[in-house]
Structure 1
């Protein structure tokens, strides 16, 4: 299977912002504990309940992430892990504040990791996105090491590891399920797939996309942030039409013919697949480039993050989490 380059949001210009701007973007939060994960595979102290901040050395670079550990998570028995990847110009803190994953974790007792891209972007190939792509950063390796480290220090269930992301973060999420077998399922929002994906392992896929998205066009092709992969912040966005991308994953997963249902402005195309997996596309007719059901961003953040107002057609976080709950990794899969 071969995927073309994706349509994307990925705007990295203005990645460095003063502290005052960051505070405006994400709001005030309680201080978080800060730890450094040792090199060489040694275990770090077990993170405390709540949000903690961590530093991990990968490929000679210090990488950072936030971890949310709810009081409701069983301290002994294996629990699910969700990795949430922010969009271009965003941060792990911004994703934690905006998308509501901590509330879902409190309710259902799972761990959530919010990694930070370097210069607020993720590298998913040589042409995208931004400074990390230009500098040859290996973000797949970073996330792989992050997941491995959490598994050493916390009771993470290896059959219930999931990844979700929006925009540039969604590009990395697709890259991860193309290049690794870490995750049982992906929840992709307002994004596409970049580069080659010749032989991915079967993975449950939920893709949510607004029909009016001009940054990651639903019909494929370059988006409004595309610069052909040139300059100091390369952004090449030229992905397949979203229905075509999802259809390819139905082939990978050995799915039956999908059923199509519509409720309001949201149309769900859902297929049951081999070994109990599922592949779904939710198309929102009147939505642009956004995370449905998220907290509205302040106008300055909306502009900086290149997001449209969030759709009210559904709550993406709850929808993705229900999909994850229904799709652990099959035995032997």
Structure 2
């Protein structure tokens, strides 16, 4: 594990890499975007290093970028933290990271997957709309799609891509049912505006992928020894020839990442029947085995740049 600095968007930016330079050629790249008031290192500790597994197996390089003063400049109109107020170019940072790692670690730029938690999940949704040519898939944890009137990229043309979503129904920060954040969330995290519910978020991405088939839901079994206080339901939006959208609803779960590392009690319960890191890796590996129809991602991705007013 090594920490690096790169110039991007006129600023020095930092990131931590898990995976050796001298590994196999054409490895996948996992970009792990942390939540509000975290750093890449803090998020890695928060998840117990679970997302490192593909790097440890030698199949991927895993990178934990650092946001500006603890945040990412997402595309929510009402965000008011420094990264947004200073209009930090996190898309340029992502682009520079991918370019650097393509050379230094010989990653396959066609197998870059963005994974984000909370504010990091919002950043992943920005990438999916503003720079979809950069990523082959998106995983969004504990974040819902902003309502069109509160999303700076609402006019971006759809570019289909596989999307995995994970959210707890008892999330006290980003409500599963959507709507406006509570007053304390607006005050502490400097966010606002309306958002879609998580099921509507999944339907939104399914529609962008051209999926018209009805979703199919399955309740997953408890792990042996589980307390049973939370339950995971998988809802799949799938259609032949279309990239899938899969939602894992954690009934009773909080603003947490299901897996071996429990979050603080104040943000709700952490489900341990599943490992989000394993779900993400399995989802993207399955997508790679069953590739979507070939298209020119760069040509498809021309869209508006977010406005800051």
Aligned residue number for residue 137 of structure 2: 185
How far apart are the structure 2 equivalents of 1:215 and 1:317? 21
How far apart are the structure 2 equivalents of 1:314 and 1:117? 28
Matches within 5 A, 1:165-176: 165-176=116-127
How far apart are the structure 2 equivalents of 1:188 and 1:70? 26
Aligned residue number for residue 103 of structure 1: 53
134-143 vs 174-183, which deviates more?
134-143
User: Any idea what the Cα deviations from partners look like across 1:139-171, whole Å, max 9, x if unmatched?
Assistant: 122112211221132221122110001101000
1:115 maps to which of 65, 76, 89: 65
Shift of 1:237: 4.4
Matches within 5 A, 1:68-79: 68-70=18-20, 73-74=23-24, 77-79=25-27
Matches within 5 A, 1:14-93: 51-70=1-20, 73-74=23-24, 77-93=25-41
Aligned residue number for residue 5 of structure 1: none
Q: Which sections of structure 2, spanning at least 5 residues, go unmatched?
A: 222-230, 298-309
User: Any idea what the Cα deviations from partners look like across 1:81-120, whole Å, max 9, x if unmatched?
Assistant: 0000000011101222232111332125210110000111
TM-score normalized by the length of structure 2: 0.81
Shift of 1:187: 1.0
User: Any idea what the Cα deviations from partners look like across 1:26-59, whole Å, max 9, x if unmatched?
Assistant: xxxxxxxxxxxxxxxxxxxxxxxxx111111122
Aligned residue number for residue 179 of structure 2: 221
Aligned residue number for residue 282 of structure 2: 322
Residues 197/108 of structure 1: CA separation in 2 closer, same or farther (3 Å cut): farther
How far apart are the structure 2 equivalents of 1:116 and 1:248? 29
2:195 counterpart SS class: coil
1:118 counterpart SS class: coil
Aligned residue number for residue 167 of structure 2: 209
1:143 maps to which of 71, 74, 94: 94
Aligned residue number for residue 244 of structure 1: 200
2:287 counterpart SS class: coil
Residues 262/296 of structure 1: CA separation in 2 closer, same or farther (3 Å cut): closer
Contact 2:252-2:269 within 8 A present in 1 as well: no
Contact 1:71-1:109 within 8 A present in 2 as well: no
Residues 71/132 of structure 1: CA separation in 2 closer, same or farther (3 Å cut): closer
How far apart are the structure 1 equivalents of 2:282 and 2:22? 18
